[in-house]
Chain A
Amino acid sequence: MAGKELDGKTALVTGASRGIGRAVAYELAAAGARVYVNYMSSSKEAAEVVKKIRDGGGSAEESRFDVSDSVAVKSAIDAVLDSEKKIDILVNNAGVARDGLLMRMKDDDFDRVVAVNLRGAFLLTRAVLRSMVKARWGRIINITSVVGQGGREGQANYAASKAGIIGLTKSTAREVARRNITCNAISPGFIETDLTSGMEEKMRESILEMIPSGRFGSPEEAAKLARFLAGDDAAYITGAVIPLNGGLYM
């Protein structure tokens, strides 16, 4: 059996109990990485992800912590580094939404979304960077959103957090490129997940009309892109914001 391209690598995927995070966890494990599956409250789902990876011959561990909690992040990462000595791949995928029109948006609805989606990515990046700098190899993959690039009614908080990810991605990329550490963002459009499958038929139709490809994307397609970015073949790609949206936003 040929060696897989991420053999021997350790990956941490946040928000990996479902959706894009879960698909990324499966894909990186299939590529040979040992995947730490982070979640905050979906413990049953996270356990299923770990089990499925192991049943398939791959390597995975659960890692429960709130990405917006500075102390929890440090202690969780220290624990992983104790076992693994280094973390090679970080996928900042954990994200929440609290939609509402801006005029009526509560302080906490804004703060919480920014804390998880943006601050979480900062905290995780800071925590893993040292071991990546020492190892002279690293891949940081941040999940932004088409909404962060073009905005969306009712998602000022989500859009702000996702746009913030873009600035974070590019600054990180510039700081550590010399060490063969790349930092890129994947910007998904409408991806078929629990969120979208519950959509009203009329809303689905109107969204599909805006997408040149005429369909939603799949979490697996996002995962394939993440897998490519995590490998050696993507070493010259850094600071990029790669759209995955079927042409919805160009």
Chain B
Amino acid sequence: MNIEQKVIEIIIRELGLEESEIAPEKDFIKDLGLDSLDVMTLAMAMEEEFDIEIPDDDV
């Protein structure tokens, strides 16, 4: 599974969105209607999945 597919899988799993709603060009906040808690949850999931650290400012 490539990175993009993994990211989509994380979004579906953590936020309960449908696969059809997600597309690379969509903005998390403006198009998908996520709030700051959603964005933080996603960032945390990605940190774990890819074993990286995302600085708070970048979140």
Point out residues on A near B: beta carbons under 8 Å.
Answer: 130, 133-134, 175-176, 178-179
**CB closest chain-A residue, reference B15:** A134
Point out residues on B near A: beta carbons under 8 Å.
Answer: 14, 35, 37, 41, 44
CA distance A178 to B39 in the complex (A): 14
Contact in complex: B44, A130 (CB < 8 Å): yes
Contact in complex: B35, A134 (CB < 8 Å): no
Q: Which of B14, B35, B37, B44 has the most CB of A within 10 A?
A: B37
Chain A nearest CB from B49 CB (Å) reads: 14
Contact in complex: B35, A133 (CB < 8 Å): no
Contact in complex: A130, B35 (CB < 8 Å): no
Chain B nearest CB from A112 CB (Å) reads: 30
Which chain A positions have C-beta within 8 A of B14? 134
CA distance A133 to B44 in the complex (A): 12
CA distance A109 to B35 in the complex (A): 42
Given A176-B37, A178-B35, 9 other A-B residues pairs in contact with their CB atoms under 8 A: A130-B41, A130-B44, A133-B37, A133-B41, A134-B14, A134-B41, A175-B37, A178-B37, A179-B37
CA distance A95 to B20 in the complex (A): 49
**CB closest chain-B residue, reference A176:** B37
Chosen A-B contacts, 11 in total, with CB atoms closer than 8 Å, are: A130-B41, A130-B44, A133-B37, A133-B41, A134-B14, A134-B41, A175-B37, A176-B37, A178-B35, A178-B37, A179-B37
